A and B are shown apart, each in its own frame.
Chain A
Amino acid sequence: MDQRLRVNPILCSGHGLCAELLPEQITLDEWGYPLLADEPVPPSLGRLARRVVSDCPELALALVRQR
């Protein structure tokens, strides 16, 4: 099943760790907040995406099933 990254913008403080770990899916805007790819996480990046979710210092990221 397709999964996508989702950020809770209230929790996110712009640490930027996610963009370092997964630049293929996450870039930072000019203020340091993540811009997520508008596409599902490919299976080859699944493990890294799960790590991004668990390592976010604010626990602001989630992997959600695509609607």
Chain B
Amino acid sequence: MTSAALFPRLLTATGEPMDLMAHLRAHGRTPYRGGPGILIDAVEAAGLTGRGGAAFPTHRKLAAVAGQKGIRVVVGNGAEGEPASAKDKALLWSSPHLVLDGLQVAAEAVGARRVHLYIHRDPRLLRRLQGALAERVAHRLDRIVVGVVSAPPRFLSGEKSALVGRVQGGSALPRFAPPRISERGVRGAPTLVQNVETLAQVALIARYGAGWFRAVGTEQEPGSMLTTLWRADGSNAVRESAIGAAITDLLGLGDQPGQAVLVGGYHGAWLTLEQARQLTLSNLDLRPAGASVGAGVLAALPAGHCGLVESARVVRYLALESAGQCGPCLNGLPRIAATLSQVADHRSARTTSAAHDDLERWSGLVEGRGACHHPDGTVRFLRTALTVFAAEVGLHQERRCSATTGETFLPIPEASPGHKNDWS
């Protein structure tokens, strides 16, 4: 085995994609451990948590599935429906073999016989991964054949009950109160669903150990994570960052402060610049401020852009991404989106305070009343937008706006024809 990789761990320092030969030179062959116990103990000692957004302790999910009877299934989740996040696509593109090693050792750890990789529907990425999988078969690295499943280009594709629906051949729609997926997941089999970055981290822990993993990060939240950074100078990048790194350093707020910082993506939270300057990339730090690291999205809104207009664009997108299955979400999100857009575009016939009252009432009516957390995440984003951009709302009440540019900032995918019913 070669020595432990230096930082960055997950992506190559040059940004060049790592083919199988380079991967074998850097990391050696797939680190099978001969059975479940050793790997799960190492993951527990490392303190790894899920990198898909929920930050759930990985060893507990592994142990829950390992403890089940019958055929077990592992699914690597790389759907990444969040438009502001690009880290899973970047990882799958540049270090596919770390993810694929992670899938195999996780399957060994839970005793799984079937393995799937669930990825964004992108022909280029699909071809690359199928090429990588064929190379691995030729080198006898994989013990279980990996089935690649493509996810529809929806915000909710990666929600775990939607993932189970898609992987078993149906549509990627959230289900209501599904049984625990660790007990009954894909076609009723106990299923482990892990984000692809989490699997890559597992593959590194299996090789280099818990002590190596904990050499970066904080005591409570060890290790590194991939972040998608949208800086106020207009640049964006996927970077691997130590947990606990200062948001100021990650976004370059010292040089290009911007006006406010979005943390955790479109189900995340806006922070004022003053808050962001004092906080770090860590849930321990962010949760008291009503935010969480989520899947590692950080965006500094540049000067000259209107936070209210940007937030209204996002809320409109989120309303359109409702699966439309639950009455409160189906009825509430479009009303919320329309009202916020009217305030942002000075088209509101009502006073701003009447619009505010409507937004608050509808938020209460959608929160906690969906089969999935889409309404809850949307309301969290909305409420922080109204708080952080309160001064901007005041300007709009006087039919003014602080924007000096007509350009948009936060990325919103353009819906293609037929998008509305595209769930498979």
**By the criterion CB–CB under 8 Å, are B371 and A9 in contact?**
yes
**By the criterion CB–CB under 8 Å, are A31 and B326 in contact?**
no
Give B177's nearest chain A residue, CB to CB: A8
Measured between beta carbons, the chain A residues less than 8 angstroms from B371 are 8-10
Interface residue total, chain B, C-beta cutoff 8 A: 14
Place the interface of chain A in its size category: 10 to 19
| Interface flags, A6-19, vs B, CB<8A=1, else 0 | 00111111100000
Asked if B370 is an interface residue, CB under 8 A from chain A, the answer is yes
- Once A29-B365, A30-B365 are accepted as A-B contacts, the answer to whether A12 and B327 lie under 8 Å apart by CB is yes
When chains A and B are docked, how far (Å) is the Cα of A11 from the Cα of B370? 11
**By the criterion CB–CB under 8 Å, are A29 and B177 in contact?**
no
Measured between beta carbons, the chain A residues less than 8 angstroms from B327 are 9, 12-14, 31-33
B171-194 with Cβ < 8 A to chain A: 175-177
Q: Could you list 26 A-B pairs, sorted by A, with CB under 8 Å?
A: A8-B176, A8-B371, A9-B325, A9-B326, A9-B327, A9-B328, A9-B329, A9-B369, A9-B370, A9-B371, A10-B175, A10-B176, A10-B371, A11-B176, A12-B327, A13-B327, A14-B327, A29-B328, A30-B365, A31-B328, A31-B365, A32-B327, A33-B327, A33-B328, A33-B331, A33-B369
Measured between beta carbons, the chain B residues less than 8 angstroms from A10 are 175-176, 325-326, 371
A7-44 with Cβ < 8 A to chain B: 8-14, 29-33
Main secondary structure of the interface of B (DSSP, over half): loop
Interchain Cβ contacts within 8 Å, total number: 35
Q: Which 8 A-B pairs have the closest CB atoms?
A: A9-B326, A33-B327, A31-B331, A10-B325, A8-B176, A10-B176, A10-B371, A29-B365
When chains A and B are docked, how far (Å) is the Cα of A47 from the Cα of B67? 41
- Nearest-neighbour CB distance to chain B for A29, whole angstroms, equals 5
Measured between beta carbons, the chain A residues less than 8 angstroms from B329 are 9
Measured between beta carbons, the chain A residues less than 8 angstroms from B331 are 31, 33
Measured between beta carbons, the chain B residues less than 8 angstroms from A33 are 327-328, 331, 369
- Nearest-neighbour CB distance to chain A for B11, whole angstroms, equals 39
When chains A and B are docked, how far (Å) is the Cα of A13 from the Cα of B328? 10
Using A9-B327, A9-B370, A29-B365 as known contacts, list a sample of 4 further A-B pairs with CB atoms less than 8 Å apart, ordered by residue number in A. Answer: A8-B371, A9-B329, A10-B176, A10-B325
Measured between beta carbons, the chain A residues less than 8 angstroms from B369 are 9, 33
When chains A and B are docked, how far (Å) is the Cα of A10 from the Cα of B371? 7
When chains A and B are docked, how far (Å) is the Cα of A51 from the Cα of B94? 58
When chains A and B are docked, how far (Å) is the Cα of A9 from the Cα of B329? 9
